[in-house]
Amino acid sequence: MSGGDAVTTHGISKRYGRETALDGVNLRVPEGAVYVLVGANGAGKSTTLKVLMNLERADAGTAEIHGLDTVRRGPEARAQVGYVSERPDHGYRWMTCRGLLKHVAAYYPTWDHPYADRLSLAFGLRLDRKVATLSKGESRRLQLVLALAHRPPVLLLDEPTDGLDPVVRSRTLSLLAEHLADTPSNEFDFERPLLLPDLQAKRQNELEESLNADGVRSFCAVPLRVHGTLLGALSVASKTTEQYAKADAKFLQEVGNQIALALANMKSYEEIKALSAKEAAAAERRRTLLEINNAIIAKLTQEDLFRAVFSALQYAIPFAKVGLTFYEPESDGLRFFALERESSDHFAIGKILDRRNCCFGEAFDTQRPVLRRDLETERVYVTDDYLFSEGIRSYCTVPLIAQGKSIGAMSVVSETRDQYSEADAEFLQEVANQVALAVANMKSYEEIAALKVRLQAENVSLQETAALMGRFAAALSHELNSPLGALKSAVQSSQALAVQKATSPPEKQQAETMEAQLRRTIADSVDRLQQVVLRMQRFTNLDRTQVLAVDLNSLLQDVVDLLESQTKGRVRLELDLKPLPRIVVRPQQMSSVFLNLLQNALEESNGSERVLLASRQTDSHVQVIVQDDGKGMSSEEVTRLFDPAFKVKAGWVSTGNWSLFSSRQIIQEHGGQIEIQSSVGKGTLVRVALPC
């Protein structure tokens, strides 16, 4: 081996089971030379570099770095090398980038701290980031800093630009060229052409010794430089002495200048192309955000909004699935509310995820994006295992935040490793912020709409109560008039009888009979007045929320008594009230319900002679039936009866449907149901069931 060789191998072989990776490889790389290993996947390129680093032990043969055997003098040999492996694996995943650089620097006396800082800045490396959170491209950049910072004389680079975007790739190649130019060498300084006409007769350094040993007799090399930047060198060699003259060197330099210019132009073109692609991607994302904003304005339902968001998102960021979850305080979990693409047993609409054991929960709790770049090695939660089993290899999850409070999380997943970057997370967070704002606004709108409906219902209820009080006052006036008239007549008769007794002693017996009859009349009138007062107390109870155990038949009888004046001489009100157990209700509300139902039946009886009011017990319920033989309604009218915006003018409900709407609400609040059956010309039947 010549003393000027940086790397040599002698017949190295390596097998993996029955597969041969290397078979008697002989390699010699002179100092200052750049060698490229070219071959198909599995040809042994990475294995060769691992043998040189003693990361793989060769089955046969030897390898040397600057004359140091990589096995017997491994640490000394590796100290001469800057190595970038095929797959970034820094080992110290809990460290920050800064901490790892400081840790590695302690092993290299030649570590150049200012140079390491300059490389970190040039590569855009964020030193405060933890190693475990780095993307593939960021890990590759960290590898390059670790490989170059101790200024090694030998670089072994296994696909050093893999995973880098075009701009960073171009910058990396420039930094490698600068590093090679700055690395001390006794061969070729790249400042001026080198002309060696007869290496057999004259050799001055290790490079010339190495060339002569390879059979080269004359050699010419020129630098490749453009705009003051050194890109490399162009050289020619011959086995004939005196093959090249100064004119050849001059011509070669002209060719080299053209090559350097072409390389610079290609580099500029790649940078422009990369910037154009980056700007196009940014424009697409701005368009996506605009579409989402328009969807927020145009879509009135959450389902329509999410469908529009997912549709716009697919053009800006790749995903195999996208899911949206919202927090449920009752279960302390996150429920899948929307899911684009195929669902599964573990991820489906309606499924609730444990907040403490999923990426959605982490984003929800920390209010920060969660990136998993390779689920093969970065699985943290049970849900990560599920995703990995379904072929997912990376994901990005961001929180949904409204007014500073987390309300859910959104996630995109991919079947490709390292699919999502920090920039993707930032963009997805912008989307999530818009979605969260829209959902919060929708919730406020729904709350306002619900409040409006409730106020309308309460207003109708107040109107109905006022109407009820009016009818009650009319009926009360009628009922009070009879006993009061009887009392007045009895009092007048009693006065006249007293006068008669004073003036006509022979008629004393007849006067006593009349007096007894007057006492009975007074007692009956007082009793009737007492019943009226009791009924008035039940109907004028202003606490509509009071819950009592009552006899439902008594409430029904009160309603019948109240409407008695409306039925005389017009409609026969039949009662069929079976014994009922006491049930717990709000008495005034239920009285209002039955008053409305019976009032409607009486008003729309169509001149029929009969309205039936019945009650009975069935299993765990009591039933109240109101049936008339009136005009009836069509099936279409029946289906729309409980719509507060619908009014049946010629049908059974003459006062509009707010009374039925509010009655159904009251019945449902009591755990009951209301059913209406009707046919045109055959009357209507209303059945109310309440739990007992």
Has residue 315 been placed in a domain?
Answer: yes
Question: Which residues does residue 218 pair with via DSSP β-bridges, in sequence order?
Answer: 238
Whole-number Å distance between alpha carbons of 426 and 332: 27
pLDDT at 567: 65
**636 and 675 in a common domain:** yes
| Residue 479, in any domain of the structure | no
Q: What percent of the chain is modeled with pLDDT above 70?
A: 74
Residue 107: the pLDDT is: 85
Return mean pLDDT, the chain.
79
Q: What is the separation, in whole angstroms, between the first and last Cα of the chain?
A: 104
Indicate if the alpha-carbon torsion angle 61, 64, 67, 72 is positive or negative: negative
* Same domain for 200 and 118: no
Mean pLDDT value across residues 173-187:
63
CA dihedral (301, 303, 307, 313) positive or negative: positive
Is the separation of the CB atoms in 100 and 131 below 8 Å? yes
Return the structure tokens found at 177. Answer: 């060229």
Residues 6+ apart with CB under 8 A from 398: 363, 369, 370, 409, 410, 411, 425, 428, 429, 431, 432
User: For 168-177, 258-267, 323-332, 630-639, which range has the lowest pLDDT when averaged over its residues?
Assistant: 168-177
Average pLDDT over residues 518-526: 70
Residue 475 lies in a domain: no
Which helix (DSSP H) or strand (DSSP E) does residue 663 occupy? Answer: helix 658-669
Residues 214, 344 within the same domain: no
Same-domain pairing of 278 and 304: no
- Which of 438, 458, 486 corresponds to the end of one domain? 438
- Whether residues 158 and 194 share a domain: the answer is no
Question: What's CA 252's distance to the chain center, in Å?
Answer: 63
Higher-scoring residue by pLDDT: 67, 228: 67
Identity of the amino acid at 469: M
Question: pLDDT: is 43 or 497 the higher one?
Answer: 43
Residue 263 has what pLDDT? 79
Q: Which of 34, 35, 64 minimizes the C-alpha distance to 52?
A: 64
Same domain, 202 and 320: no
- Are the CB atoms for 105 and 113 separated by under 8 Å? yes
Look up tokens 């150049």; give the residue: 112
CATH code of the domain covering residue 220: 3.30.450.40
Least confident of 226-240, 351-365, 534-548: 534-548
Q: What is the CA radius of gyration of the chain?
A: 48
Given pLDDT bands bounded at 50, 70 and 90, which one contains residue 30? confident
Give the pLDDT mean for 408-418. 91
Section 551-579 average pLDDT: 81
pLDDT in tens, 240-276: 999 999 899 899 999 988 888 887 787 777 766 766 6
CATH code for the domain of 687:
3.30.565.10
Asked whether the beta carbons of 2 and 210 are under 8 A apart, the reply is yes
Q: CA-to-CA distance for 74 and 52, rounded, in angstroms? A: 9
Determine, yes or no, domain membership for 589.
Answer: yes
Rounded to 5°, the CA angle 499-502-503 comes to 90
Quote the strand ranges of 341-446, DSSP E: 352-354, 370-372, 394-402, 405-414
The residue with tokens 């980056």 is 278
- The answer to whether residue 615 scores a pLDDT higher than 90 is yes
Q: Among candidates 526, 656, 549, 530, which has minimal Cα distance to 604?
A: 656
For 249-385, strand residue ranges (E) read 321-328, 333-340, 352-354, 370-372
CATH code of the domain containing 57: 3.40.50.300
Domain assignment of residue 460, yes or no = no
The model's pTM: 0.35
Question: What is residue 74's three-state secondary structure?
Answer: helix
Domain containing residue 51: 5-162
The Cα 642–Cα 527 span in angstroms is 42
Considering the domain architecture, whether residues 549 and 684 belong to the same structural domain is answered as: yes
Q: Which of 284, 313, 330 is the last residue of a domain?
A: 284
Q: How far apart are CA 546 and CA 548, in angstroms?
A: 7
Domain assignment of residue 49, yes or no: yes
Helices (H) and strands (E) in the chain, counts: 17, 22
Same domain, 271 and 355: no
HSE at residue 303, side-chain half, CA atoms within 13 A, is: 1
pLDDT surpassing 70 at residue 16: yes
Verify that 310 and 269 share a domain, yes or no: no
pLDDT of residue 67: 86
**34-88 pLDDT, tens digit each:** 877 877 788 888 888 888 888 888 889 999 988 888 888 888 888 888 888 887 7
Report how far residue 420's alpha carbon sits from residue 413's, in angstroms, rounded to the nearest whole number: 9
pLDDT exceeds 90 at position 118: no
CB 390 within 8 A of CB 369: no
Would you call 184 helix, strand, or coil by DSSP? coil
> Do 124 and 214 reside in the same domain of the chain?
no
CA-CA distance, 459 to 667, in Å (whole number)?
Answer: 18
User: What is the total count of domains within the chain?
Assistant: 4
- Strand partners for 394: 414
Among residues 259, 284, 309, the one where a domain terminates is 284
| Same-domain pairing of 388 and 271 | no
| Amino acid 482: pLDDT | 63
Predicted local confidence at residue 392, as pLDDT: 92
Query: 3-state secondary structure string, 106-167?
Result: CCCCCCCHHHHHHHHHHCCCCCCCEHHHCCHHHHHHHHHHHHHCCCCCEEEECCCCCCCCHH
User: Which among 323, 318, 358 is positioned nearest to 339, based on CA atoms?
Assistant: 323
175 assigned to some structural domain: no
* Model confidence pLDDT, tens digit, residues 445-488: 555 556 566 656 655 555 665 555 555 555 565 566 666 666 66
Task: Note whether 24 and 105 are same-domain residues.
Answer: yes
DSSP state of 351: P
Whether 514 is covered by a domain: the verdict is no
Least confident stretch, 535-544, 577-586, 637-646: 535-544
* Vertex 662: Cα angle to 658 and 664 (nearest 5): 120
